Structure 1
Amino acid sequence: MSQKVVIERVQVRGAAPYLGMSATPDGQQVPLYSTNPDIVMRWLCDGWRCRYNQLRSRRTRWDRNTQSAVPLGGKPDMRSDRQVRLECSWFAAIPAMVLQSPNRIENTDWWSANKRRKTLKKKHRNPGMTPRFKKRRDDLYFVCWHNKGANANYRQLNRRHGEVVITGQNPGAYRLDGQPCRYSIHIRVRVSQPVRDYTSVGVNWTRRTLVFVNDPLPIRRERTGAMVGLDRGCVHTLATSDNRFLDLPKQRLERIDREIRRRQKAQARRIAMSGETVKQYRRHASRTYERTGREISRLYAKAHRIIDDWQHKTTSMLVREYDLIVLEDLNLQDMSRKAKAKPDPDRPGAYLHNGQSAKRGLNHALRSAGLAGIVEKLEYKTRLTGQNRLILVNPAYTSQTCSKCGHCAKENRESQADFECRQCHARMNADLNAARNILDRGLDHLIGLDEAEHARTESDVPTAYSSRDASALTCGTSTR
């Protein structure tokens, strides 16, 4: 977990950092020094990325042609940090806590990506490409270990501002006469809450943000004995079993979406007027086209921040108010897939109508709602409290089953919002009805767990049990 803050400005104090050797017009190599904050920060980011890629080059991938494992970079770079400093002059003055951080981060990134690929393969999904190198076009980024105060120390300046100080020194062979050898980079940040103990800082110089990597705060709460079932959807983001709707700020998101579409149309007009394809035009795109693309990226990022903020506030509220939270275990990736093409048997090369136009709107709504993020945040927040329990249940027929009499029929749901039971004639909102059914399935699962536990303790023989209605996933307090 982390705390993200905004970088306001950067100052370089003390010695001018040694950035490496530079060639003069007559071909001579001279040492290069600079106190320009932008140049120094780019130097740290480039050094961190280069060291990360050197470590990544040691990884291997499976070559189908030779049926063997081959290095990603062709020739692995086996040099240590010390050797890199000696052989590459522009690495010499990079702080040790910055140069050492790629060792652990690259290892963590590699194995987490491979674990994700294995999981996708088991689910018969496309695992994607083997993890590769960090590219120049990626965000300028570096990490500096805190190491119990060895570097990247934070100092509070006033109520809203503080600074992170990263220190380093120039090597003995490149120190200027009469000047100090040590330098310090003061990164002034704006904070909105006290900075907790952290293990490292991550600086994104492209976006001007700094992240303190630390443990999340536990959520303070008291047992309430309350239980809730949650139905996720596009019209209402969350519908609760106690007759509440929790919705995203859709007016703000729709306004941002309109701005994105307006700028995308402007880009499309420029391409159409050029008479070239998109790929051809982007090779020599105008500055206005590139600027519009950056504006679109900023708008997308703003929408994602709004959704993330709402999800954090809503899930924290749910964890504080309810001891048991039950959700439906939706397969969102399959729900948002494209419709399969239907070839026309009478016309070779032609296709029949498959409803993709209507499906495109549903896919956009599902992705915009960010339904998967709600489960992810509830999972780790229920673990933090140690008092909550989160259960995911099978969503099949929850929207067609009456929560009062249990009658299940497709005709019960007249439309997206209206539900009327054909047997007991109970009328209610379809999402609220589904939320009640979800809670009932969660309670049935808990009863099944208690019975299995009771039978196990009586026989004193370990019993393996599973429930499709609960997807075998329970987070928070242990069931034993």
Structure 2
Amino acid sequence: MLTGRKYRLELTAAQAEQGQEFADVCRAVWNTALEQRREYRRRGGRMTYVSQTAELAEAKREFAWLCAAPAQVLQQTLRDLDRACRQHGPFKVRWRSKGHWSPSLRFPDPQRIHVERAGRKWGRAKLPKLGWVRFRWSRPLGGAVRSATVSRRGGRWFVAFLIEDGKIAPEQHSLPTSAVGIDRGVKAAVVTSDGTFHHRAFTSEGEAVRYRRLQQRLARQRKGSANRRKTIAAMGRIAARVADRRTDFYARTANRLTTRNALIVLEDLRVKNLTASAAGTLANPGRNVRQKAGLNRAILETGWHRLELALASVARYTGTRVVKVNPAYTSMSCHACGHTAPENRDSQAVFRCRACGHQDHADINAAKNIKAAGLAVSACGDVGAGRSVKQEPKSRATGRTLCVGESPVHAGEEAKCTG
């Protein structure tokens, strides 16, 4: 099974300067190749990875500065660009700017990568053109190296190794009948259907105050100045610490959830749509723009998508299945009787059913609905997942309104469901 191991590099001044030179060359290759693809598309043609790789080889004979970076790193840059253009189109792929792009250099040939332990706390790796680089030996490799990626974030350099650990995913979980539903929120990052709350503050009060002051200082500084670069570096260090805490929190949470549950059910949330701006136009201005902006910041700060990534990574080792269900009405439907109404949600934390009087924490009630929907999907198959969230689902057999998690195809046809 393929997995990753990330370590902090301790580069010398010359190696850090050389790594930055590699990054500048890769950024220039990316931007030039992207402009070439856009120009070809405007004329009705297309560029491919193969043709751009051939042109890169010719350009290296004319421009000596392209030879400063390893050839494989430049080829991987073109490969990444090709994948991005095929997935999003060349006009939606972004440029790599000098001030906002974090360098990332991938070395794909394992034959040219040598890793060895240099002491109790240190290891070293030999990479093309960089030579031997030291890194903090924070954990064993645990397998054969397949590739290496050198990156810079928050003023520090890191190396990540892709490892083949030799493990095989289990066919069945150790607790095959266990299941849990997860509701993601802002007040509590993760709430499970068994009533457990998982949350922590990723940014301290002091860091929030300092970051805001740095933002104010940045707004007054001249672009391109040395002081502006120092301010951006200080902001990057704070953001890196916050990102590390977020990654650690979701890794620990995912490990606990996958160890204890064979089935994990999540809402199929479109975070990009949920965090879209509410600002309109001059002719049609938006409503509650500042409130929506605050909610968007809170959602992005919580990092909902991080949980999905962590669960997908850890679930391979436990045999856990991760299922996504339609999020429609999970927060306003009563888990006890199935009554759905916006009035059931008294507040952010209080749920009181207007039909049966059932009371519960709103997030726990939503997590129970999510779990029920996931169990229904596991039993009957994932059908009707693409229905609109703006329309209450109807049964095709009886025409009645369905409860959360009930399939519009199988409603009224329960005898056909063998789950």
Which bracket does the TM-score occupy, shorter chain normalised? 0.7 to 0.9
Would you say how many aligned residue pairs link Structure 1 and Structure 2? 382
Tell me the residue number matched to 1:192.
138
Is the 1:143–1:202 Cα contact (8 Å) retained in structure 2?
Answer: yes
Tell me the residue number matched to 1:259.
210
Cα distance in 2 between the residues matched to 1:327 and 1:336: 18
Classify 1:222/1:208 alpha carbon distance in 2 versus 1 (closer, same or farther; 3 Å): same
Query: Where in structure 2 are the equivalents of 1:76-95 lying within 5 Å?
Result: 78-79=54-55, 81=57
Cα distance in 1 between the residues matched to 2:342 and 2:104: 53
RMSD between aligned alpha carbons? 3.8
Q: Which amino acid aligns with 1:294?
A: A
Is the 1:8–1:190 Cα contact (8 Å) retained in structure 2?
Answer: yes
Classify 1:58/1:115 alpha carbon distance in 2 versus 1 (closer, same or farther; 3 Å): closer
Tell me the residue number matched to 2:350.
418
Q: Which amino acid aligns with 1:109?
A: D
Tell me the residue number matched to 2:160.
211
Cα distance in 2 between the residues matched to 1:232 and 1:188: 39
1:143 counterpart (106, 124, 138): 106
Matched, 1:111 2:82: yes
Matched, 1:99 2:71: yes
Instruction: Give, in angstroms, the shift of residue 301 of structure 1.
Output: 1.9
Is the 1:412–1:419 Cα contact (8 Å) retained in structure 2?
Answer: yes
Instruction: Give, in angstroms, the shift of residue 368 of structure 1.
Output: 0.6
Query: Where in structure 2 are the equivalents of 1:299-338 lying within 5 Å?
Result: 299-338=238-277
SS of alignment partner, residue 374 of structure 1: helix
2:38 counterpart (52, 55, 61): 61
Instruction: Give, in angstroms, the shift of residue 142 of structure 1.
Output: 3.5
Is the 1:324–1:390 Cα contact (8 Å) retained in structure 2?
Answer: yes
Instruction: Give, in angstroms, the shift of residue 429 of structure 1.
Output: 0.5
2:185 counterpart (233, 245, 253): 233
Matched, 1:447 2:410: no
Is the 2:277–2:292 Cα contact (8 Å) retained in structure 1?
Answer: yes
Cα distance in 2 between the residues matched to 1:331 and 1:470: 21
Is the 1:56–1:106 Cα contact (8 Å) retained in structure 2?
Answer: no
Cα distance in 2 between the residues matched to 1:137 and 1:249: 26
What per-residue deviation string (whole Å, max 9, x for no partner) do you get for residues 189-236 of structure 1? 102111232222222366322221335776886235211011111011
Tell me the residue number matched to 2:414.
none
Matched, 1:395 2:305: no
Tell me the residue number matched to 1:461.
none
Matched, 1:152 2:113: yes
Cα distance in 2 between the residues matched to 1:403 and 1:137: 46
Cα distance in 1 between the residues matched to 2:218 and 2:340: 50
Is the 1:223–1:387 Cα contact (8 Å) retained in structure 2?
Answer: no
Q: Which amino acid aligns with 2:80?
A: D
Is the 2:38–2:91 Cα contact (8 Å) retained in structure 1?
Answer: no
Is the 1:53–1:134 Cα contact (8 Å) retained in structure 2?
Answer: no
Q: Which amino acid aligns with 1:420?
A: R
Q: Which amino acid aligns with 2:74?
A: P
Q: Which amino acid aligns with 2:241?
A: K
Cα distance in 1 between the residues matched to 2:321 and 2:236: 38
Is the 2:376–2:406 Cα contact (8 Å) retained in structure 1?
Answer: no
Cα distance in 2 between the residues matched to 1:386 and 1:218: 10
Query: Where in structure 2 are the equivalents of 1:289-438 lying within 5 Å?
Result: 289-341=228-280, 354-382=287-315, 384-385=316-317, 387-438=319-370
TM-score, normalised to structure 1, is: 0.68
Tell me the residue number matched to 1:129.
92
Tell me the residue number matched to 2:4.
2
Tell me the residue number matched to 2:393.
none
Classify 1:300/1:222 alpha carbon distance in 2 versus 1 (closer, same or farther; 3 Å): same
Is the 1:391–1:470 Cα contact (8 Å) retained in structure 2?
Answer: no
Is the 1:236–1:246 Cα contact (8 Å) retained in structure 2?
Answer: yes
Q: Which amino acid aligns with 2:146?
A: T
Q: Which amino acid aligns with 1:266?
A: R
What per-residue deviation string (whole Å, max 9, x for no partner) do you get for residues 304-351 of structure 1? 1211111111112111110011111122222211225376xxxxx6x6
Q: Which amino acid aligns with 2:92?
A: M
Classify 1:146/1:155 alpha carbon distance in 2 versus 1 (closer, same or farther; 3 Å): farther
SS of alignment partner, residue 2 of structure 1: strand
Is the 2:331–2:362 Cα contact (8 Å) retained in structure 1?
Answer: yes
Tell me the residue number matched to 1:459.
none
Q: Which amino acid aligns with 1:368?
A: E
Is the 2:266–2:324 Cα contact (8 Å) retained in structure 1?
Answer: yes
1:161 counterpart (118, 122, 128): 122
Cα distance in 2 between the residues matched to 1:364 and 1:140: 25
What per-residue deviation string (whole Å, max 9, x for no partner) do you get for residues 407-435 of structure 1? 22221111110111122212110000111
Q: Gaps (5+ residues) in structure 1?
A: 12-35, 119-126, 169-183, 272-280, 344-348, 453-464, 472-478
Tell me the residue number matched to 1:458.
none
SS of alignment partner, residue 391 of structure 1: strand
TM-score, normalised to structure 2, is: 0.77
Cα distance in 2 between the residues matched to 1:387 and 1:319: 8
What per-residue deviation string (whole Å, max 9, x for no partner) do you get for residues 241-261 of structure 1? 1011111335x4454323211
Q: Which amino acid aligns with 1:108?
A: R
Classify 1:254/1:368 alpha carbon distance in 2 versus 1 (closer, same or farther; 3 Å): farther
Is the 2:279–2:286 Cα contact (8 Å) retained in structure 1?
Answer: no
Q: Gaps (5+ residues) in structure 2?
A: 387-404, 408-417
How much identity, in percent, do the aligned residues show? 24
